[in-house]
Amino acid sequence: MNIIRRILKWLGIALATVLLTPLFLVVLLYIPPIQNWAIRKAIAVASEGTGMTIGLDRVGISFPLDIELENLTATLGNDTVLHTAAVVIDLDFGNILRHQVGIEAIDLKKGVFNSIDLIPQTSIAGRIGELHIDREDTDLKKRMAILSGASISECILDISMRDTTITDTTESTPLPWAIRVGQVDIYNSHVSFHTIGDTLSVITGINSARISGGDINLEKATYSVASLKVNIDSLLLSMTDVSGTRSEIPIPSTAFRLSGTRIDSVGVTLPSFYIHTGTEEGQRSFVSGDIHLDFNAFTPGAGTNMAANIKASLSHTDILGIAGAFLPEGIEKFYPALPLKAEISVQGNMDSIAVDTVHLSMPTVADIAADGYIADLDNNDDRRGQLVWNVKTMNLDFVRRYAGLSGIRIPSMTLSADTRVKGNSYQADAILRRGKGSVHVKGGIDLNNTAYGAKLSVRDIDMHDFMPGDSIGNLTLSASIKGHGTDPYSKATGLKGEISLKHLRYKTLDIDNARLAALLKRGRATLELTCDNDIVMTNACAGINIGRKATEADFSLAVNRINFHALGIGRDSLVASMMFSLDGQTDMKQVYRLDGSIHSMELATRDTIYYPLDIDIEFKTSEDSILARANAGDMRLQFLADEGIDSLAYKLGAVATELEKQMNAKLLNQERLKVMLPRMDAALSCGTNNPMANLLRSMLGMTLNGICFLYTSDAADDL
């Protein structure tokens, strides 16, 4: 019996020890010396596990086991990774001895953090107003933190991509930790994202966001989330182009959701995303699709691919708000209140990109579709590709109104085009159709030797569809051009072109059989115009010697027949013929010289033939003078000015502006106008034997006995 009693006694003592020891240990933690020892132990374990130096100003433990930390700081070398004013941790302390920390909850206020070099490709820094973690299990041996839930508010986060091509001489080892997140809620925060060199930055203001199923590996720099939903109240895109110009694009309030997103050092995967702006019908935009991007796809020969399938509908308010800075000024007044719908599907890499679908449409306005491929994108010599386009226009009246084309109409048309690239050679073959008519353009350019060529064919295009207020009708013509070089002053530059008008209907007239040919060879340009139809029979030739210092030109025109009566000029039959010659010289600045004559003129009416007198023309200019003369029979016309062309044009423009101003004010100030007048002399005199008198007599039945006109203006002598 005594033996049994003793056994039961020791069993009771053992059981009491097992039950009371944890309670006793917990009680000991409320004793300050024991607290300090426990915290030092925890800090030592955490420092060893993270590789960081962890310090704090004060620690307190309250019932049942809440740890209060003040001014907690974690540093790596000389850099501060984390600093927070206050942290409260609800801790399961027993797991420390097993190198595990079971945390029921964490509350953090006023924190500052900086990833420094812990993440090789990215720098993350910012501030947190409040952070609450509902539950955490941390395995210090496996270096893994599991967050079942968290909420963040008043957070400012700045993310910058690093240039990994620059050699960093500072020794840095990525933090070998992994973090799993069940759900994170974010409120009233701001996030900034910057690419390498800050060529692109995105600044967002977040109303609310929810991240579910997050997985972060700091050592491998991989990030993935099962789903992400965000409501954004402000979004600003800022870009720098190749010229260094910075452009900012504000984007209205936006909401988006992502599913299955993964980002790592290899690439980005967005299996499903949806972004929308606005809430009102007709002002709401959305973009959805999936993107799979392997960063190595931008490296030739890597064999990896990228793919993107995107659908979008952009409201006119968002288009004008986002792209307004890039659109022509004032177009917002005429831009149609219709959505722009887009569908884009591309896949491939730098070796070959397949453009499966590009489809843009605006209901009742236009529809554009394209597909094709581009290969060897980074090799100028071997680059090749093809894009096939199909365009249908409907109501483009807003373009006409914006351009101020009151007498012009833009009718519905269709365009089919095939564009190709091979090395530095580009080619296009396009057909535009309107009704029964068509316009066919085929051409190309080789940038290696700046050689180019194109052919144009217009068949039965009804011009009345484009100019309904005019009496113009069907047009048929052909044109071609072929050349090389772009410097007109170089003798190596050459060009050959031709335009042939085969038929144009204007009112009751049929204008056809007209040809203009152009040739540029070894610094000399020639033009030749021939017409042979019921209205006019003529031949004109012009030659221009192009020089860097001066340009010389000659011109001759032989008009065998002009039927003025067919053109609606004159009361009866009137046919004219003449010869016209002209030669000149210019420095393309202030100096011009022209000498010409009109001779061998003949005017034939129904029963009479007239032979008008020859007309001689002289025109000379310099930097400070202008001389113009014309003589025909007893007619003399002369103009003199003590000004160059630019100076005279400027002063006459100033006089016209001042006169208009005074007329609007209904107050004529002659003294003000007088001092602005340029120095000019003009004279006209004629009797009865001159072309003017003959034309008035034959065409209008008027008799001219004579004219005498003298004009002089000077700032000192008045008119």
Per-residue pLDDT tens digits for 566-607: 777 766 777 888 888 888 887 777 788 888 888 888 878 777
Q: Pick the more confident residue, 398 or 696.
A: 398
Q: Which two tokens stand for residue 27?
A: 């009680």
pTM of the model: 0.69
Question: What are the pLDDT digits (tens) for 327-353?
Answer: 888 888 899 999 999 999 999 998 899
Q: Pick the more confident residue, 63 or 98.
A: 63
Which candidate, 421, 344, 418, places its Cα nearest to that of 375? 421
Rg over CA atoms, the chain: 43
All residues at 6 or more sequence positions from 295 whose CB lies less than 8 Å from its CB, including other chains: 265, 266, 267
Which of 50-59, 210-219, 648-657 is the least confident region? 50-59
| Residue 461 burial (CB count, 10 A) | 21
Q: Which two tokens stand for residue 226?
A: 């099962």
Mean pLDDT of 208-229: 81
Which candidate, 553, 708, 690, places its Cα nearest to that of 619? 553
Question: What are the pLDDT digits (tens) for 310-329?
Answer: 999 998 888 887 777 778 88
Mean pLDDT of 35-53: 68
- The predicted structure's pLDDT at residue 16: 40
Residue 413, pLDDT > 90, answer: yes
CA dihedral for 17, 20, 24, 26, sign (positive or negative): positive
- The predicted structure's pLDDT at residue 354: 94
Instruction: Judge residue 519's burial from the number of C-beta atoms within 10 Å of its C-beta, 0-12 exposed, 13-18 middle, 19 or more buried.
Output: middle
2: helix, strand or coil: helix
Q: Residues 591, 623: contact at Cβ < 8 Å?
A: yes
- The predicted structure's pLDDT at residue 368: 96
Amino acid at 379: N
Instruction: Judge residue 351's burial from the number of C-beta atoms within 10 Å of its C-beta, 0-12 exposed, 13-18 middle, 19 or more buried.
Output: middle
Q: Pick the more confident residue, 146 or 541.
A: 541
- Give the residue ranges of DSSP H helices in 526-669: 645-665
| Residue 565 burial (CB count, 10 A) | 15
Question: What are the pLDDT digits (tens) for 663-674?
Answer: 888 888 888 888
Q: Pick the more confident residue, 479 or 649.
A: 479
Amino acid at 352: S
- The predicted structure's pLDDT at residue 13: 40
Q: Pick the more confident residue, 195 or 448.
A: 448
Which candidate, 200, 121, 190, places its Cα nearest to that of 161? 121
Q: Pick the more confident residue, 455 or 29.
A: 455
Q: Pick the more confident residue, 59 or 517.
A: 517
Cross-strand bridge partners of residue 528: 517, 541
Residue 26, pLDDT > 60, answer: no
Which of 17-26, 224-233, 250-259, 347-356 is the least confident region? 17-26
- The predicted structure's pLDDT at residue 15: 40
Phi, psi of 715, rounded to the nearest 5 degrees? -60, -25
Residue 205, pLDDT > 60, answer: yes
Query: Averaging pLDDT over each range in 366-380, 429-443, 462-476, 533-547, which range is the top one?
Result: 429-443
**Residue 698 has what DSSP assignment?**
I
- The predicted structure's pLDDT at residue 565: 74
Residue with tokens 């207020």: 469
Residue 161, pLDDT > 80, answer: no
Alpha carbons 466 and 357: distance in angstroms, whole number: 32
All residues at 6 or more sequence positions from 22 whose CB lies less than 8 Å from its CB, including other chains: 94
CA 315 to chain centre: 18
Give residue 31's pLDDT band: very low, low, confident or very high (50, 70, 90).
low
677: helix, strand or coil: coil
Alpha carbons 107 and 127: distance in angstroms, whole number: 15
**Residue 718 has what DSSP assignment?**
B
| Residue 717 burial (CB count, 10 A) | 10
- The predicted structure's pLDDT at residue 103: 66
- Could you tell me what percent of the chain has a pLDDT over 90? 26
- The predicted structure's pLDDT at residue 285: 86
Give residue 18's pLDDT band: very low, low, confident or very high (50, 70, 90).
very low
- The predicted structure's pLDDT at residue 279: 63
Residue 168, pLDDT > 70, answer: no
Phi, psi of 541, rounded to the nearest 5 degrees? -135, 140
Query: Averaging pLDDT over each range in 264-278, 311-325, 436-450, which range is the top one?
Result: 436-450
Q: Residues 549, 558: contact at Cβ < 8 Å?
A: no
Cα atoms in the Cβ-side hemisphere of radius 13 Å centred on 605: 15
Alpha carbons 567 and 697: distance in angstroms, whole number: 19
Strand duo 178-194 + 144-161: pairing: parallel
CA dihedral for 698, 704, 705, 708, sign (positive or negative): negative
Mean pLDDT of 558-563: 84
Cα atoms in the Cβ-side hemisphere of radius 13 Å centred on 555: 15
Residue 8, pLDDT > 50, answer: no
Residue 233, pLDDT > 50, answer: yes
Residue 687, pLDDT > 50, answer: yes
Alpha carbons 710 and 705: distance in angstroms, whole number: 17
Which run of H or of E encompasses 693? Answer: helix 691-695
Alpha carbons 569 and 225: distance in angstroms, whole number: 82
Q: Residues 134, 109: contact at Cβ < 8 Å?
A: no
Query: Averaging pLDDT over each range in 256-260, 373-377, 431-435, 674-678, which range is the top one?
Result: 431-435
Residue 563, pLDDT > 90, answer: no
User: Which contacts (CB < 8 Å, 24+ apart) does range 353-362 have?
Assistant: 353/377, 355/387, 362/336, 362/338
CA 681-682-685 angle, to 5 degrees, is 140
**Mean pLDDT value across the chain:** 82
**Residue 403 has what DSSP assignment?**
H
Alpha carbons 497 and 453: distance in angstroms, whole number: 9
161: helix, strand or coil: strand
